[in-house]
Structure 1
Amino acid sequence: MKKLLQILPVLLALCLWVSCKDTKAKSQRIMPVEILADGDLVFRRGTGLLSHIVTSASKDGVYSHIGILKKIGDEWFVIHAVPDEPDFEGDSDRVKIDSLSRFFMSDRAVRGMIARITEDTLAASKAACTAWEMARRGILFDHDYNLADTSRMYCSELVEFAYRKAGICLSEGRRTQIHVPAMGGTYLMPDDIAHNRKLKIIYSFP
């Protein structure tokens, strides 16, 4: 009995390690990276308060965030404008680059989709390059959500802007009217872009 008590902490630690390892594995989503392309649109429904406000206020309330895919080396990355996801202490809210797996981690996304604009693959590649350049320049996040000011960007504004530079209007003019105290006004939401009829879904979860 005494010997059992001595090894019990070791067994408990081992069980916890296995459990944490299993949980981490479950948080990784398997994605068909072999069929992805520069400029593919990446949507997610987040887990935070802002995501809940966005989806609750939006008419359809499916997705709360959007970014653009670009392959760098052998890996796929998402370029997106996002608040409250610093890479280091003191990091500003800005246009940033995250790995696709990090973008879809289970603590950041409860729902997700990757879609492709079928109209023009060259334009999609150009849009990805525009977004990349904006991330490289460190464009800050637009906390005023002002579409008339392109010196700062919020997520759907960035994607719309990048594709407009390539000659495509993803939203097709759609806007969402929101009537809540925290976000009253007219906004370009991820769902306004997701409703583009030329988008082809190539991956989604759950």
Structure 2
Amino acid sequence: MVRHHVMLCLVALLGGGAAPDGGGVPPADAPTLPPAAIAALQAQARTGDLVFRAGRGWRADAVRATSLSGWTHVGIIDMDARGRVFVIHAAPPEDGHGGRVVRESVARFAAPAEAERIAVQRLAVPDATLVRMVRAARGFAARQVPFDDAFDLADARALYCTELVWRSLWRAGVQVRPRTRAVPVPLMRGRYMTPDDLRAMLPLRPVLSDVVS
């Protein structure tokens, strides 16, 4: 039981996603991202951008308790031909559902129930590299690669949020050494790659800052 609660804390720190529903569309009665925020994303974001999320509720509380960054989750933006904004990310287990890599609408990814705010940053790499990165991420989603609840960067059979971005970039030819930090969680002490570590190790520039859900 203790280990189970510890795992929930780590999932809060390095997962932070909603349980996938298959279609990436929130229930009809669920609050969603404001239309103005979606319009801003459609106008300024592009495929291959990274979207960082500050979680809400117990996930954010877990981050504060361990003195980590307010950014608790990250995904890769993937826009379709109609300009709709989707996010590919490693969604953690929730409500009895096993976590996995999913592609879902940004409205779901940044819904008020899940996020206080989001920010979009752009990688300073060639467009061809971004195409390869997103293709790799789509492949992980298509194969429904499971969420990595062991948070093991050495094992590519399962992925957590920052690991998905790192491995997608690696497959695209951006082979950077992962930056990690010690997470002071009892029984699960180790080094993990947080969203802030990802931001520190990659060439990023801001596109949209503090979009409020």
8 Å CA contact retained: 2:41, 2:85: no
SS in 1 for 2:131: helix
Moved over 3 A (4+): 23-29
| Shift in alpha-carbon separation, 1:173–1:55, aligned structure 2, 3 A | farther
Matched, 1:174 2:182: no
The amino acid across from 1:81 in the alignment is: A
Q: Deviations 1:151-201 (Å, cap 9, x if unpaired)?
A: 00000000100011112246x542111122164210011111122462111
State the 1:85 CA deviation.
Answer: 5.0
| Alignment length (residue pairs) | 180
Matched, 1:189 2:194: yes
Query: How far, CA to CA, are the matches of 2:63 and 2:119 in structure 1?
Result: 17
Q: TM-score, normalised by structure 1?
A: 0.77
Q: Counterparts in 2 of 1:50-89, with a 5 A limit?
A: 50-54=59-63, 56-57=65-66, 59=68, 61-74=69-82, 75-84=84-93
Structure showing greater Rg: 1
8 Å CA contact retained: 2:66, 2:184: yes
1:105 to 86, 107, 111: 111
Unaligned segments of structure 2, at least 5 residues: 1-29
| Shift in alpha-carbon separation, 1:159–1:52, aligned structure 2, 3 A | farther
Residue equivalent to 2:8 = none
Percent of aligned positions with the same letter in both sequences?
A: 31
RMSD: 2.5
| Structure of greater relative contact order (alpha carbons < 8 Å, 6+ residues apart) | 2
SS in 1 for 2:115: coil
8 Å CA contact retained: 2:53, 2:118: yes
Unaligned segments of structure 1, at least 5 residues: 1-22
